[in-house]
Amino acid sequence: MEGYGGGGDLLSEAMCSGARVVVVEDCVDAPGAFVLHLLLKRALAGGGGGGAALLALAQPFSHYDRVLRKMGCNLSVHRKSERLHFFDLQSFPGGTSGGGIADSLAQLYNGVRRAVEANMAKESDGRFTVMIDDVSLLEVAANGSADDVLDFLHYCVTLTSEMNCSLVVLVHEDIYSSEDGVGLLLHLRYIADLVIRAAPLSTGLAADVHGQLSVVNKGMMLSEQRLAKGQKVWNFHFKVKENGTEFFYPGSRH
Amino acid sequence: MADAAVRCLRDGRLDGEHAPALAVQGSLHCCPLAARAMLHLAAAVASNAAAGKAQARGLVVVAFDRSPEVYLDFMRRSGLDSNALGRCVRILDCYSDPLGWKQNIRSQSHQEDSGTPCSTNKDNITIFRSVKDVDKLLCSIIDLGRGFEGESKTYFSVAVDSISSMLRHASLQSISGLLSNLRSHDQISSILWLIHSDLHEPKFSRAFECLSTMVACVEPEGVDSVYGEDRMGNISFLEHNYSKAKFHVRLKRRNGRVKHLYEELRVEGYEVKFLSASSLSMEVNQSLLPKVQFNLELSEKERTDRANVVLPFEHQGKGEPIRIYDGRRSLPEAQQDPDLTKTALLDETKAPKSATAKGEIHYIRDSDDERPDSDEDPDDDLDI
């Protein structure tokens, strides 16, 4: 039951290896950034030579560096060895007033694509992970134009089907809960193979449980492993710690 | 019913009429299933075309949501060999590079190959690079359709996956214009499209329903799920929804009649199965039969006895010839001319016997896949 260390046993069990597009939804009461940290650590860990590109709009590099160091993963070293490509987008689109936002996003896509290709060129068989933290801020940077953001995301999704690459995206669910409905969130849920949703405990606050995580495996990719798994919906509790996260089934802890 | 819809798509258009159109509607609750159903229908249309059973010589898939490989892979699995795929399937790939970003990047880095708006690396996949231009899209679809080999006038079918993605790039008016242009084009035999109804306002999906002759709704079997109000409660419902769904089909017939059909859609591994509602209701009936202590069944003897009971309205001739008024002669006439009546009556009694000895019924079924006792209205095609 105790699962932490290698990125959380329950979570990795629930996440099929075939999932190409992962959407992490969180809310103010239960931030889901820890899922990104776990996935980033997993992407960089191991000798497989996997790499990652982190498109950071929410936090500066020093933040990720400190958090991941506590978890036993040195981002600075990875960044130097070019296994981690860090895109600091806190001031995106950075005053490039020449073209529209679509051009900036196309440039950004170009950068990501080059990072993926560079990793592929190393002939490593590890999988590359493109991570966006977070899409809601990307939408803000695009002046609220969800269509441009979706175009960008679509291009990132095409990377996953062309190369050995996966896309992990964080989105704040509760800022889309208004009536308009036809927002970025629904589109994201459609393109996702796997939805990980962090929510506060439905039974109220508790000292040793920080919230619950549901994993919905909705992909229709016709891959074998996925079918063998069978179970598509998982639900369990989590507790975030300094150096990792514990996942456990409801009621399995005292 | 999936079969009925596929038959309509296969039979294609009549001269001077619009092509039959099928709208497949799905929602987020069962979106993998709706997408699967769409793949299944497209594969069925393609295999009909490959077998030469359909009016259409081939299928043009306009792929927005999935990479062309997914379609080719699915069609291969559903029994189309590579020869048939090359002959009967063309894919207009609006997935890989919908806005031309990749091409721009490439043309910036090296100057060559910038002048090919629709390039292909395989013979049946064509990459389309400006999805915002709906007129160009229409031309590309029709150009691809003209590529199918055949004598004089070749028909083809079109599958669009999905309208929802197109609506992100173009307005409702232009997309519905595109669809009605496609339907009225005289080489298009049938058209089907997928729409995610909950991504748009209800009026959008209604507008596309109006353009179609058939609507197939994929609806969740269970009521609510993670995304509903009862958020985390009914995980099992969601699990259920991802393996089976309700498949409602509404067929608009030429004479204005509307037919509702209902099936259950199940996905098992790679296969998509449609269970008819009748077999479902059979299952329900069997399980609903009350368990009682006394015997409701009849024994064999009781059954034969019951069959032998002569009911009051049955003819009870008791050996004498039965007089049946045949409508040709009035009774007073018959009394006046007893001989004639006698012969007539004799004919009457003999006729059935000779008929059983001689008679033969020649019956040729219209097509193999139509059940002899299907509920299809035989006079349906009559224009009265």
Mean pLDDT of B230-245: 62
pLDDT beyond 70 at B216: yes
Residue B352 has pLDDT above 60, yes or no: no
Do A171 and A24 contact (CB within 8 A), yes or no?
A: yes
Test the B interface: residue of A21, A151, A190 with most B CBs within 10 Å: A190
The predicted pLDDT at position B115 comes to 45
CB distance from B234 to chain A under 8 Å?
Answer: no
Q: Which residues of chain A neighbour B77 with C-beta distances below 8 Å?
A: 222
pLDDT digits (tens, 9 = 90+) for A126-142: 788 999 988 989 988 88
Asked if A143 is an interface residue toward chain B (Cβ–Cβ < 8 A), one would say: no
CA dihedral A202, A204, A206, A212 (to 10 degrees): 20
DSSP secondary structure string, A145-184? -HHHHHHHHHHHHHHHHHTTEEEEEEEESGGG-STT--SH
Residue in B201, B232, B239 nearest the CB of A212: B232
Whether the pLDDT of residue B104 is over 70: the answer is: yes
In one letter, which amino acid is B144?
A: L
Of A155, A202, A231, the CB nearest to B232: A202
Question: Hey, of B75, B99, B237, which one would you mutate to test binding to chain A, going by the most A CBs within 10 A of its CB?
Answer: B99
Count of alpha carbons within 13 angstroms of residue A230, beta-carbon side: 0
Q: Which fold would CATH assign to domain B2-225+234-287?
A: Rossmann fold (3.40.50)
What pLDDT, on a 0 to 100 scale, did the predictor assign at position B321? 63
Evaluate if residue A37 carries a pLDDT over 90.
yes
Looking at per-residue pLDDT, the higher value among B111 and B186 belongs to B186
Cβ contact, residue pair B199, A216, below 8 Å? no
Residue B274 CA to chain centroid, in angstroms?
A: 11
Residue A27 is classified by DSSP as B
Q: Using an 8 Å CB-CB cutoff, list chain B residues near A187.
A: 199
Q: Superfamily for A9-248?
A: P-loop containing nucleotide triphosphate hydrolases (3.40.50.300)
Q: Which of B3, B83, B86 has the alpha carbon at shortest distance from B41?
A: B3
Q: Is the pLDDT of residue B334 over 60?
A: no
- Chain A CB contacts of B201 under 8 Å are 182
| pLDDT band at B251; cut points 50, 70, 90 | confident
| B258: alpha, beta or left? (left if phi > 0; alpha if psi -120 to 50) | beta
The interface predicted TM-score of the complex, written ipTM, equals 0.85
Distance from CA of B55 to the nearest CA of A (A): 30
Q: Which of A155, A199, A220 sits opposite B101 (nearest CB)?
A: A155
Q: What is the 3-state secondary structure (H, E, C) of chain B?
A: CHHHHHHHHHHCCCCCCCCCEEEEEECHHHHHHHHHHHHHHHHHHHHHHHCCCCCEEEEEEEECCCCHHHHHHHHHHCCCCHHHHHHHEEEEECCCCCCCHHHHHHHHHCCCCCCCCCCCCCCCEEECCCCCCHHHHHHHHHHHHHCCCCCCCCEEEEEEECHHHHHHHCCHHHHHHHHHHHHHCCCEEEEEEEEEHHHCCHHHHHHHHHHCCEEEEEEECCCCCCCCCCCCCCHHHHHHHCCEEEEEEEEECCCCCEEEEEEEEEEECCEEEEEEHHHHHHHHHHHHCCCCCCCCCCCHHHHHHHHHCCCCCCCCCCCCCCCCCCCCCCHHHHHHCHHHHHHHHHHHHHHHHHHHHHCCCCCCCCCCCCCCCCCCCCCCCCCC
Highest mean pLDDT among A30-44, A218-232, B305-319: A30-44
pLDDT (mean) for B97-111 = 82
Domain boundaries, chain B: 2-225+234-287
Q: Could you state, in order of their start, the residue ranges of all structural domains in chain A?
A: 9-248
10 Å CB burial of residue B189 (0-12, 13-18, 19+) is buried
- Reported confidence tier of residue B136, pLDDT bands at 50, 70, 90: very high
